[in-house]
Structure 1
Amino acid sequence: MPPPAYNLLDEPWIPVHWSPNASLPPTGEPPDRIGLRELLLRSGDITGLAVTSPPAHSALLRILYALTARVTGLDEVGTRDWGSRLQDIWDEGELPKGGIAEYFARYEHRFFLFDPEYGRPWMQDARLAEQCDADKTAGVNKLIVTRASGNNHAWFRADRDARPELPTTSEAVLNLLVWHYYGPSGRCSSREVNGAKSASMTAGPLRTALSYHPEGETLFETLLAGLVRPEATVTPTRDQCPWEWDELPDPDKAPRAPAGPCSRLTACSQHALLLVPQGQDGQLVRDAYITWAYRKGRIPRSDPFLIWQVSQQGNPYPRPADSRRALWRDLDALLLKEPPGTAQPRRPEVFAYAFEVSEDLRVRALGFEQEAQAKDIQFVSGTTPPVLGFAERDSPRTALPVARLRQFGELYGRRLDRAVKQAWAAYVRDAKAKGDTWAAEAAGRYWPRAEAEFWDRFRRLDRSGTVLDAGFDRAGSRAAFLALAVEAYDTVTASVTRTQRGARAVSDARIGLYGGARKKTSGPAKGQDA
């Protein structure tokens, strides 16, 4: 029996937030989910994606950026200035209907999720049904990244591999994308190609990373702000998305390197997947194959939405997702061309072009805190207020104040962490005691208030360019963050100050908040009298 013809262009699978001004259908209620075609046609009526999983949101945005580049013709430099063409489309307030119709007419047959006729299901490899053992599939619990599978511990729900709750097709597609971008390395289902079996896969291109996306008032603005100017040599025939390939790649050969922005965004997966539908209506998925895509080689990690920094060994790597780290602590790395820091952070490439279209853009951070190999820890998401107007290029006098504000917040956060740990070690009279409980409580008290202090002072910076240092109050800012650290320190350590030993431990460690005791010198300082 042939599988259902579920086409992602028109089936309602993408959850969206509608603008209050969006035109309503005759029923009076806009749909909760829509297909790709309606999403692009009505992107100006949509405020954003309603995808609750940050890694799925991040992955889907990359697909949408590539489609936007295709339907607008911004996938190549062309004969007319690329930036001017981008601005013209921005001014129109909608994506070109003709470009959408032409592109989807050409590739409609490649957007079937379960492909009964052409054998090319979207973002999948139909060959897995023959190359993998049908009795040892990954299953839907493995596919849905928030579920426990195998012998893993269940935290929020109990899922049994023998009788799993079947996911909706919408949920399955979004998790298919999470696997392509954030999938683990290590053991997987065995795949046999050319008589040789392998069961080891390489990590996805965004695994452990946090990506930063310029965000507008509508999805239309967000998609245009996420485009990157191609190199002059890039052509659509070479810079292809996976659904545009004439043939699927040979798993026995090394993967092809991305040839431009579209392939960088969509064709860097190291995983191969195949979804198995339940029944004929295509609304549920009952099983999934998940295995490796290439037996050897790795696609270079090069993504325009990541902050790249340099390790102590001199190797570039993307700034990792950290659920304990608020987005404001990365702000100077987003706004400044050469932000301070020993890691030599490099601003995401996309911001060089987002500045061109609007200053009234927010930044949304999306990621997945993970270990490099297999362990998934926590989703990471955050959004700033409109900040791109403070970029170094447009408002150079705010550059140093933004960096200083972030540095003051970081400085007193580090000092607080060290001070409470030192106080605990002194109190228990064990130099090796870590004091993690005190440190966690202090961090929980300090960082949310430090974030509020940062944004309050950030909004006060002058953007006119006529005020020295943008009106930044250096002394006042330092004192404000110090006061927050002192308050958190006093609150956390108060329980032991009723004893002489505890009071002394707390008092001695408190000086760490102020930078520690001055080092004694054996003689007078240079240029001073004894």
Structure 2
Amino acid sequence: MPPPASFGSVAAPRSYDLLERDWIPVREGEKRKKVGLRRLFECAHLLSDIEAAPPPGAAALWRVLTVIAARVTRLDDMAAGSDAWNDRQGDVLAEGRFDPDAIMEYFDRHRDGFDLFDQDRPWLQDPRLWQQCKTSSGVNKLVMFRPAGNNQVWFNHATEASPPPLRTDEAVFHLLIQLYYGPSGQCTPRTAGTASGVNSKAGPLRRTISFHPVGTTVFESLVAGIPQAHHYNHGGPDQAPWETDDLPDPTKPPPRPSGVGGVLTGRFQHALLLQPSPDGEYVTDAWITWAWRDQEFPAEDPYLIYQKNVKEDTYYARYADASRALWRDFDALLMEDTGDSKARRPAVLKSVEDLRGFLLPVLRARAYGFDQDGQTRDKEWTTGITPATLALAAEDGVPYSVSQMRKSAEMMGRRLEDALRGAWSAINDPSNGERKVQRTDIPPGPWPADAAFRYWPQAERLFWERVRTRHFDGVVVAFRQLALGVYDEVTASAAMPRVKRAIELNRVRIYGRKPQQGGQGQGGNTA
């Protein structure tokens, strides 16, 4: 137990009870408020949604809440087969709310595990870090969008020399983000017994995009989002960190993640410790370091799309891409194999098809993405939600038609970019079409970016309109007309005859053809 002086200026221990303190932003009808964990589960059937931010923190929170929901509903039984599990899920939904007695029993049993600043077992933290690390990491390191170390100040003026404290209700989400999306590479050095190191592995969700079913209430969303536990019976303990009696031993291999608790909250690769202010209302410092030295056991997250690596015959989680709109992943939420990416849909969305008599007609899918590289660079986080169309997965032929429509939209988007690049290259070819300069040596110019800004939002509206009306005929022609219209808009300012000629000659690229002789400048060949 750390001496009180290291955690503030007063000797009395601080406490931040996540069960009772109001820290989770929720919506009840038109009202916004914050609730604690106990109140959230007691009133989940009355709450419309959880409005946590930033999006990576929300994705992490839903996983934590799903483990608790699985416990209080007994949908964490790894011995139950699909039929028995589906029957139990249907019974829970028919009850319309979480059982108050089950909520009380679970939280009372694990009450000590939900204190964020407990001296012996702080929630999702390791209290030994103040001894095992020579220095702290700093509160700026905890918040991913703050500059830390020698990084320059751009969008946030929280410098390393004067790091402002972080409100505790906000710090909880940044703790979750670090555990799920934390970087690999160099970290605060840690020595734990015979194990020591200065680097860590990436968090289990780093650079991924996850998809969660959304019902009309938080209760429905949580129950629909519980994965079938028997798929995760890997022989290890089904325990969340707040349910264990002992702290993890970093000198040993990490436990094999099993069950809902092990898969969703047992794969962290970072160890953290938060230092509170004297009154416990703020976090003033943090330790962030490695959790394990041995390689972790693999496990698939039930909320991720997995794509096949054809060369190695393995699957990897689809990466988040801030430039890619949610609707372009929609077909991968409805079907197992979209053909072009060999994608495997999120396991939890596959299992919701059995809710046809309960929730399937109203279920939506919300996406949380964090565009990062594999190590330390964090680019952008995104979120989005689909209409209530997950029931399309059960309609014969519809998922395939949706997938073909998405492919048509992307094909026309590529052709539009190619046509504009070809026209710009022809206009700016210093060899005047004599092919002395390769097209790839000429910068693409401003037209492709302008076209993307115009094309993709219109393509999305067209996509959802066709999905809503189940009108899948003539989609290639529809997206081609859209691309041609954008092509004309982007190039409308052209006035010189030579420029207009290059534009008209390259228009055929949108039809999948190459320009005729003279398509590049005065007499070149764009082939």
Which segment drifts farther, 119-128 or 256-265? 256-265
Within 5 Å, give how 1:54-73 maps onto structure 2.
Answer: 54-73=55-74
Partner of 1:498: 495
Deviations 1:253-289 (A, max 9, x none): 221121122210011110000000001x311000000
| Correspondence 1:291 to 2:289 | yes
Count residues in correspondence: 491
Deviation of 1:196 (Å): 5.1
CA separation of 1:171/1:299 partners in 2, compared to 1, >3 Å: closer, same or farther? Answer: farther
Supply the distance in 2 between the matched residues of 1:319 and 1:128 (Cα, whole angstroms): 33
Moved over 6 A (4+): none
Partner of 2:186: 187
Deviation of 1:156 (Å): 2.4
Supply the distance in 2 between the matched residues of 1:295 and 1:148 (Cα, whole angstroms): 27
Within 5 Å, give how 1:49-448 maps onto structure 2.
Answer: 49-77=50-78, 81-116=84-119, 119-133=120-134, 136-194=135-193, 197-231=196-230, 234=233, 238-279=237-278, 281-314=279-312, 315-341=314-340, 343-357=341-355, 358-359=359-360, 360-391=362-393, 394-429=394-429, 431=439, 432-435=441-444, 437-448=446-457
Supply the distance in 2 between the matched residues of 1:124 and 1:321 (Cα, whole angstroms): 27
Supply the distance in 1 between the matched residues of 2:304 and 2:370 (Cα, whole angstroms): 13
Determine if contact 2:237/2:256 at 8 Å carries over to the other structure: no
Q: What amino acid sits opposite 2:498 in the alignment?
A: R
Partner of 2:464: 455
Supply the distance in 1 between the matched residues of 2:232 and 2:286 (Cα, whole angstroms): 39
Q: Percent identity?
A: 42
Deviation of 1:144 (Å): 1.1
Supply the distance in 2 between the matched residues of 1:237 and 1:52 (Cα, whole angstroms): 32
Determine if contact 2:130/2:136 at 8 Å carries over to the other structure: no
Deviation of 1:67 (Å): 0.5
Determine if contact 1:369/1:379 at 8 Å carries over to the other structure: yes
Deviation of 1:193 (Å): 1.8
CA separation of 1:426/1:107 partners in 2, compared to 1, >3 Å: closer, same or farther? Answer: same
Supply the distance in 1 between the matched residues of 2:233 and 2:99 (Cα, whole angstroms): 22
Q: CA RMSD in A?
A: 2.0
Supply the distance in 2 between the matched residues of 1:100 and 1:54 (Cα, whole angstroms): 27
SS in 2 for 1:214: strand
Gaps of 5+ in 1: 21-29, 462-470, 521-530
Deviation of 1:78 (Å): 5.8
Partner of 1:35: 36
Determine if contact 2:505/2:516 at 8 Å carries over to the other structure: no
Determine if contact 1:69/1:75 at 8 Å carries over to the other structure: yes
Which segment drifts farther, 348-357 or 309-318? 309-318
Deviation of 1:504 (Å): 2.5
Deviation of 1:418 (Å): 1.5
Q: What amino acid sits opposite 1:485 in the alignment?
A: A
Determine if contact 2:234/2:257 at 8 Å carries over to the other structure: no
Q: What amino acid sits opposite 1:424 in the alignment?
A: W
Within 5 Å, give how 1:451-530 maps onto structure 2.
Answer: 451-461=460-470, 472-473=472-473, 475=474, 477-495=475-493, 497-517=494-514
Deviations 1:186-217 (A, max 9, x none): 11100012255311010011101000111111
TM-score (norm 2): 0.89
Partner of 1:527: none
Determine if contact 2:232/2:258 at 8 Å carries over to the other structure: no
Which segment drifts farther, 484-493 or 165-174? 484-493
Determine if contact 1:56/1:178 at 8 Å carries over to the other structure: yes
CA separation of 1:233/1:226 partners in 2, compared to 1, >3 Å: closer, same or farther? Answer: closer
Deviations 1:109-163 (A, max 9, x none): 11111113xx111100011011001xx3111111012222222233322112222
Deviation of 1:73 (Å): 0.7
Supply the distance in 2 between the matched residues of 1:517 and 1:199 (Cα, whole angstroms): 55
Supply the distance in 2 between the matched residues of 1:211 and 1:162 (Cα, whole angstroms): 36
Q: What amino acid sits opposite 2:486 in the alignment?
A: A
Deviations 1:32-73 (A, max 9, x none): 211111011111111111112110010000000000000111
Deviation of 1:399 (Å): 2.4
Deviation of 1:421 (Å): 1.5
Determine if contact 1:76/1:236 at 8 Å carries over to the other structure: no
| Correspondence 1:9 to 2:13 | no
Supply the distance in 2 between the matched residues of 1:254 and 1:362 (Cα, whole angstroms): 39
Supply the distance in 1 between the matched residues of 2:15 and 2:414 (Cα, whole angstroms): 56
TM-score (norm 1): 0.89
Determine if contact 1:272/1:293 at 8 Å carries over to the other structure: yes
SS in 2 for 1:407: helix
Determine if contact 1:214/1:361 at 8 Å carries over to the other structure: yes
